[in-house]
Chain A
Amino acid sequence: GAVVSQHPSWVICKSGTSVKIECRSLDFQATTMFWYRQFPKQSLMLMATSNEGSKATYEQGVEKDKFLINHASLTLSTLTVTSAHPEDSSFYICSARGPGNGYTFGSGTRLTVV
């Protein structure tokens, strides 16, 4: 089946630094990937749609200069949280549309900014 690998699974960083999260489709090509964030006991909120070879499409209220998305190949999208602050601490999850029209999710990244 379709597998999406997300790395790292958790990261702790100092306030003001940047953190990069990778999302890879392992056995299929993904022209489109999606990035979500999830606060404790809340549902997933779509942040942006990552398009291979073009600019990402951000949801309303998501700062594109803070959450940089790069989708340089058909199997890799990266999310960089720039100048991270404690309020950016959250669970970030990526997904990709796999074969058969279903969506496959990565295992998520727990970001803690101290």
Chain B
Amino acid sequence: KQEVTQIPAALSVPEGENLVLNCSFTDSAIYNLQWFRQDPGKGLTSLLLIQSSQREQTSGRLNASLDKSSGRSTLYIAASQPGDSATYLCARMKDMRFGAGTRLTVKP
């Protein structure tokens, strides 16, 4: 049973495109949800933390939203750049469950 699901598994876009990564979770009674970036062979870098009382968080070109009623979170990346290429993971902080990630490639 996959408790945290991320769609798509992989995504390839040309530089400059806006894109959306999706994260859904089976238990809507979450606490907080956090988005991370992982480069190959590296640890995780925190991008955005959305507390359960919040609906969205923004940092630079990144915007993350949280809809507890539908059990979904989205990560929006504006004006994508080749340096954004990485695997993006969402995690449900209630029980530290991670999605399988979305592997993003931004082509120059």
The count of A-to-B residue pairs whose CB atoms sit within 8 angstroms is 50
B98 touches A103 (CB 8 A): no
Given that A43-B89, A43-B99 are contacting pairs, would A102 and B49 also be in contact in the complex, using a CB cutoff of 8 Å?
Answer: yes
Give CA–CA (A104, B36) in the complex, Å.
10
| B78 CB-CB contact with A under 8 Å | no
3 smallest CB-CB distances across A and B, nearest first, come from: A107-B43, A105-B44, A102-B49
Interface size class of A (residues with CB under 8 A): 20 to 34
Contacts known (A42-B100, A43-B100); A103 close to B42, Cβ less than 8 A = no
Residues of A within 8 A of B43 (CB): 6, 93, 105-108
* Contact of A102 with B89 at beta-carbon distance under 8 Å, contacts A34-B96, A44-B98 already known: no
Residues A103 and B100 in contact, CB atoms below 8 Å apart = no
Contacts of A7 in B (CB 8 A): none
By the criterion CB–CB under 8 Å, are B42 and A107 in contact?
yes
CA distance A26 to B51 in the complex (A): 24
- Interfacial chain A residues near B34, Cβ < 8 Å: 102-103
- A residues within 8 A CB of B91? 44, 103
For this complex, 20 residue pairs linking A to B, each with C-beta atoms less than 8 Å apart, are A43-B100, A44-B44, A46-B96, A49-B96, A93-B43, A93-B44, A95-B44, A95-B96, A100-B49, A101-B93, A102-B32, A102-B34, A102-B46, A103-B34, A105-B36, A105-B43, A105-B45, A107-B42, A108-B43, A110-B41
Q: Using a CB–CB distance below 8 Å, which chain B residues touch chain A? A: 32, 34, 36, 41-46, 49, 51, 89, 91, 93, 95-101
In this complex, what residue of A is CB-closest to B36?
A: A105
Let me know if B51 and A101 touch, CB within 8 A.
Answer: yes
> With A and B bound together, what is the CA distance between A43 and B96 in angstroms?
12
Residues of A within 8 A of B99 (CB): 43
Report the minimal beta-carbon distance from B56 to chain A, rounded to whole angstroms.
16
B89 CB contacts on chain A under 8 angstroms: 43-44
Would you give the shortest CB distance from B35 to chain A, in whole angstroms? 10
Residues of B contacting A6 in the complex (Cβ-Cβ under 8 angstroms): 43
